[in-house]
Homo-oligomer: A and B are copies of this chain.
């Protein structure tokens, strides 16, 4: 194997182009095997192998700085920068993260997982270099899909103003996670079709010098171009056309499905339709029927349809009633707010981690205008996710914005009732935290009138201890109630609050009569979250309150059982805390 000779980027400089081509094949096979074993980003990494080899051949990392956008395409980079053992040896498959990680290597500058950040980060590195009179190259590697994000444009606009070296490598595979959406993609298409020669050029329009590489999976072409821009004294874009999924036929054909795959995806037979009911499946079923019966309904999503169950078939069926705005969460919220304000019935579907992109739009464009948008927040909750993709912050972020009603369903019936109420009402922006885990169906029809805001529901009446168990932690609340009965002979009250954004003062006041302790359970961060409001309510009383949820911290691929222990979110540890308090 050529790879046997490659332990650092320096080693690359000693081999021939032919050997690099062989190396690319070897790397590709390692990536396919590893990703198919562990799950992970397949298409992005297969497409960028040659670009990564050429970058490390021409530039001198870590003196020269390479900043990866999203960094889900950094596997080839990891292989070439001392971490090939994470790919050659299955025992080490989980040794390195799927994103750049400064703690792993000096070749990784930033911990990155969200999109559209690389140009801004690179601009800061370039400006810092200029302040101290350094000479190194600063390179941002950004995919075409990420260009629609506002942060990317803000970065490009400012980077173009630098009077010094910055090299933006645009990896154009004509795909976001799904297909691209946005005017800029017509220009990229034109540039690809004219091999970079078209007069109308987005990058030139904002002041960049510009190079085009038509075969971005050809090491030699890439090296020649990178050599031309190395040590350049002004901002330049190198527009590289690559093939997403290159070298894996299925991935080249079905680019969306192979953007990220589950473990074993290559081994499985073609999937038949999902027969298990999930929150994704009931959501799509409900929205499809809604779209059919009501032409003012529209579903908006910022470029993550696959993760939410919005298959290409589903999107096609919705037609004009489905709007993928591209990676553009800020726009998604503002645009949806205007749709809601002008009589349409929009549902905006976003992932908890990415809703972080749009605080001000939620506050100003949406909440201040009281537009009756329905926003579905997916994946919220404590998990073993990467530090870049935690979903524990959405409650503090959304619920402290005035005017928004944030709802936490505990079962299918509640969820659908909340959804149908929200879509039809015209008074509030409503967010619904779609439970991220298995379905908890009570089988009981939900007849709640959600226009009566902030009415908590007592599911089971008891005394001494009251358990307020929010959303996807309602099940945990049920278990705690059972354990309290079994082990401490306490007949606890069990409450399903349903509303995250307000408290039921009357109900809380009444609890004082025959309860000593209230505990709150929430599947997210305590700081700024749901439980603290309950505690504040009881601050001037004798009621004791314990809040259970996650700490304010970035965890990183920490096993969920460990997190539950750390946060005292197991029934046993909750009972211990209750014992200590009573």
Residue numbers of A with Cβ under 8 A of B are: 65, 102, 109-114, 117, 120-125, 127-132, 148-161, 181-184, 186-187, 199-202, 204-208, 235, 295-296, 298, 320-321, 323, 325-326, 328, 330-331, 334-344, 346, 356-361, 363-365, 367-369, 387-388, 393, 396-397, 399-403, 525-529, 531-533, 535-536, 538-542, 544-547, 552-554, 577, 580-581
Q: Contact: A117 with B334, CB < 8 Å?
A: yes
Question: Residues of B contacting A400 with CB < 8 Å?
Answer: 393, 396, 525, 527-528, 552
Contact A342–B525 (Cβ < 8 Å)? no
A512 to chain B, nearest CB (A): 14
Least CB distance from A332 to B in Å reads 8
A207 to B361, CA, bound (A): 25
Pick the contact of A365: B117, B132, B296, B546 (CB < 8 A): B117
| Most central of A298, A545, A552 by chain B CB within 10 Å | A552
- Nearest Cβ distance between residue A354 and chain B, in whole angstroms? 8
State in angstroms the CA–CA spacing of A533 and B525 once bound together: 12
Q: Are A202 and B202 within 8 A (Cβ)?
A: yes
Q: What is the CA–CA distance of A201 and B368 in the complex, to the nearest angstrom? A: 35
Q: Are A356 and B359 in contact (CB under 8 A)?
A: yes
One complex includes copies of this chain to the number of: 2
Could you say which of B120, B151, B187, B538 contacts A206, with CB atoms under 8 Å apart? B187
A358 to B536, CA, bound (A): 28
Asked if A183 and B208 sit within 8 Å, CB to CB, the answer is: yes
Q: Are B554 and A335 in contact (CB under 8 A)?
A: no
A120 and B160 form a contact (CB under 8 A): no
Taking a contact as CB atoms closer than 8 A, the residue among B320, B338, B369, B531 that contacts A125 in the complex is B338
Q: Taking CB as reference atom, which chain B residue is nearest A541?
A: B544
Return the contact of A539 from the options B127, B544, B552 (Cβ within 8 A): B544
Taking a contact as CB atoms under 8 Å apart, the answer to whether B202 and A184 are in contact is: no
Residue in B326, B346, B364 whose CB lies within 8 Å of A112: B364
Closest B residue to A370 using CB positions: B111
Q: For A186, list chain B residues within 8 Å (CB).
A: 160, 206-207
Given contacts A187-B206, A330-B154, contact A402 B553 (CB under 8 A): yes
User: B109 near A341 (CB under 8 angstroms)?
Assistant: yes
Contacts of A538 in B (CB 8 A): 539
By a CB distance below 8 angstroms, the chain B residues around A182 are: 157-158, 160-161, 206
